[in-house]
Amino acid sequence: LSRGLGDVYKRQGLTARLKNPLTKTEPLRPLKMSRFVLLIFLIITPLKLLAATELSAVNPQVKLETEKGDIVIELFPKKAPVSVDNFIKHVNNFHYDGLIFHRVIKGFMIQTGGFTFDFTPRESERPRIVNEASNGLKNARGTVAMARMSDPDSAQAQFFINHSSNGFLNSKGDSVGYAVFGKVISGMDTVDEIAAVPTGGFSMYQDVPIEPIRILSAHLLNPDVWVESQDPEPAVAIFERPIPLR
């Protein structure tokens, strides 16, 4: 019983102190952070900063706006530095704007980068590049690779998007493959739609879409993450100066 009355008095005293603002109360004591909590804080903070840094260090991305929809390509400059640099410079020079997908084979690939809607060639102003097919990237569905002639180091501006996984395009032994330098991260439905269009022959070319499909524009989405490579200076011709005729 006495314990019960004591509880009541304590509650009443507490109530009285709450109702009377002049009642003195004990000052708040500063909270002490335990060593364990401090250690966790010191570990997590650098990890968060590191994660933020990794998120900001993304790869370059190029958006192709086509008459069938948009295609966004992520590029891999660490794996294919020459191909990526060459591709972005073509993009920034508006080389691909207005060009068509001139070769389309469903279940294989769609190719572009060389012709306008009436098959007028658009020649690249850049030199041919070295083949980077040995970079470990495979010609899987949705990857982007440089098109070329029989010479492995003949790629310039034309590229293709693999509609299916094409292992026979990879390097194997002494056979040099086709260099993958990016992949589609958005718009594979557009790639599927382009791959499904009717095709036919046009002059000397085969697998040409009957209705032209143009790239309306191509642009780099995040130019701040791309570091341009310096192009080599053109070779200076070494020759004897001509002797004036007298």
Flag whether pLDDT at 157 surpasses 80.
yes
Share of the chain above pLDDT 90, in %: 68
CA angle, 139 then 95 then 152, to 5°: 40
Residue 2 has pLDDT above 70, yes or no: no
pTM, full prediction: 0.73
Is the pLDDT at 51 greater than 50? The verdict is no
Res. 115 pLDDT band, cuts 50 70 90: very high
C-alpha span between 115 and 102 (Å, rounded):
7
Q: Which residue has the higher pLDDT, 32 or 151?
A: 151
Give the largest CA-CA distance in the chain: 136
- Confidence at residue 158, expressed as pLDDT on a 0 to 100 scale: 98
Is a pLDDT exceeding 90 seen at residue 148? yes
Share of the chain above pLDDT 70, in %: 71
pLDDT reported for residue 119: 95
Distance CA 142, CA 153 (A): 23
**Rounded-to-5 percentages of helix, strand, coil across the chain:** 30, 25, 50
Write the CA distances from 187 to 64, 128, 144, 193, 233, integer angstroms.
Answer: 9, 29, 13, 10, 38
